Structure 1
């Protein structure tokens, strides 16, 4: 069995950028096993030296050269990390020099700046959007006048995590409404949603996957039965087609893809924070 290659995502901040890009890179190489670790807040030279020792040790134990995906902006930190002997992948390096030439300005190495609170207005918008998503989860509140969008679908189709993601990353006020058996039997869009038709987006899911999810939540209940799942999904999809509501299956889609497709479909243009 091949030895797993140790990979470290190192950052002077949260490590979100390094980890996101690093994972995207690793998925391009099939048949290779990686074991990953995130080292956030490496924001002093001493911490960088300690991180280098940890990386070097991991490489020795695995018997293979480790890989470091780094978003550290201080060149001294990068040099210390390179002392580990790892393959260094600086995610900023390919872009800084061309930008400096184009902008006529050298960069300022701002440690931990990428995910800090740079703009309080946009930060508060994210927090307010998160509060909105939680308050309007699963039809808890039905006043949707301030909503940017409303997700509709059967219970456990992925509406809540998508709303939370949209709020946290894009500052979008996203509500969700679960289509109940009574709604589905009526074969009409619930009255509370009709006036907000332009804000609606439907989420659906494969009935077998829905059955598995509901079994984890309420085992062996009527709610979780496969026949129930098949019927509800079929009724919900038929309703959304009749009402002209665009929908997306969440069965094999990541939450990032789901969010992007929703924003595109509803023409909501928000920068990612």
Structure 2
């Protein structure tokens, strides 16, 4: 627990993937920096039985912690929305208010159909996003650099600076072919960008982070290791930033940014936002 911060549990409940609930909910939560949120996503809750299990989990959390969790939901079915509202939590229905206002304004009753918010009706868009996700998975963490010519952006930075989740978000949400490459001590000793990146300099985008934040993230993965030591993090970040600056690669500090904010910044910083709007 971070000193001086209160703790609250947050649930994102959805009858689909939960991406919409997470995106909107997390954006709202960023406005409360004095609270440390413990988040959990419950996707594909599309039946009364599944929702009863979810409500039981939420209620159990409320009893154990002695305070109500916050629940963001994007449930379409009215029975499920009524049931989630009975939970011992602050339940924020992210669809209800918007849908009712749109129905009133447009003079039509909404379809209440599942999956439409994720573009399943547009097969071409859906397929492109799936292709982008597959590409990103195959080109994660510098595993495969052969097909970098297909990449639209290549994120570069030290380990755990936010490259992988940002690439996946760009692929899933926008259909961007995103690859990423981790800078390691081997790269720093050469004092030049790796050869596999040099031919694609125009696509490179650097991510950095404060040493304190990086050490905390790494300690969660490998506690008390040299990899997570503050001094090592400081050294790696300093060397990585020098390498990126020498290569005239733009750098984004991700320390206080959510994945959504990082992704949007990259879309505008690279100019890819223009393709999405065309």
Q: With structure 2 as the length reference, what TM-score do the two structures score?
A: 0.70
The answer to whether the 8 Å contact 2:210/2:255 transfers is: yes
Aligned to 2:211: 207
The answer to whether the 8 Å contact 2:119/2:126 transfers is: no
Choose the corresponding residue for 1:21, options 24, 27, 33. 24
Choose the corresponding residue for 1:108, options 97, 111, 127. 111
Q: Distance in 1 between matches of 2:135 and 2:51?
A: 43
1:124 aligns with 2:104: no
The answer to whether the 8 Å contact 1:218/1:224 transfers is: yes
- Partner-residue secondary structure (3-state), 1:231: helix
The answer to whether the 8 Å contact 1:152/1:200 transfers is: yes
- Partner-residue secondary structure (3-state), 1:151: strand
Q: Distance in 2 between matches of 1:212 and 1:32?
A: 17
1:51 shift after superposition: 7.1
The C-alpha deviation readout for 1:47-83, integer Å capped at 9, x for no partner, is 4994798599769969988876443333454455556
Choose the corresponding residue for 1:259, options 263, 266, 270. 263
Instruction: Mark the CA change 1:141 to 1:268 in structure 2 (over 3 Å): closer, same or farther.
Output: same
1:31 shift after superposition: 7.5
1:139 aligns with 2:142: yes
Alpha carbon RMSD of aligned pairs, Å?
A: 4.3
Instruction: Mark the CA change 1:47 to 1:200 in structure 2 (over 3 Å): closer, same or farther.
Output: same
1:164 aligns with 2:171: no
- Partner-residue secondary structure (3-state), 2:149: coil
Instruction: Mark the CA change 1:177 to 1:85 in structure 2 (over 3 Å): closer, same or farther.
Output: closer
Instruction: Mark the CA change 1:219 to 1:134 in structure 2 (over 3 Å): closer, same or farther.
Output: farther
1:149 shift after superposition: 0.6
Larger Rg, first or second structure (1 or 2)? 1
Q: Distance in 1 between matches of 2:215 and 2:68?
A: 44
For 1:29-44, list aligned pairs within 5 A.
Answer: 40-44=43-47
Aligned to 2:238: 234
Q: Distance in 2 between matches of 1:213 and 1:69?
A: 26
For 1:50-199, list aligned pairs within 5 A.
Answer: 50=52, 54=56, 69-79=72-82, 89-115=92-118, 117-143=120-146, 144-199=148-203
Give ranges in structure 1 of 5+ residues lacking alignment.
Answer: none
The C-alpha deviation readout for 1:77-116, integer Å capped at 9, x for no partner, is 4455556797764322332344335545331111354348
- Partner-residue secondary structure (3-state), 1:114: helix
Q: With structure 1 as the length reference, what TM-score do the two structures score?
A: 0.71
Instruction: Mark the CA change 1:141 to 1:218 in structure 2 (over 3 Å): closer, same or farther.
Output: farther
The answer to whether the 8 Å contact 1:68/1:89 transfers is: yes
Q: Distance in 1 between matches of 2:99 and 2:224?
A: 54
Give ranges in structure 2 of 5+ residues lacking alignment.
Answer: 1-6
Instruction: Mark the CA change 1:29 to 1:240 in structure 2 (over 3 Å): closer, same or farther.
Output: closer
Instruction: Mark the CA change 1:111 to 1:183 in structure 2 (over 3 Å): closer, same or farther.
Output: closer
Farther-moved stretch of structure 1 (132-141 vs 74-83): 74-83
Q: Distance in 1 between matches of 2:67 and 2:215?
A: 43
Provide the aligned length of Structure 1 versus Structure 2: 266
Instruction: Mark the CA change 1:235 to 1:115 in structure 2 (over 3 Å): closer, same or farther.
Output: same
Instruction: Mark the CA change 1:251 to 1:74 in structure 2 (over 3 Å): closer, same or farther.
Output: closer
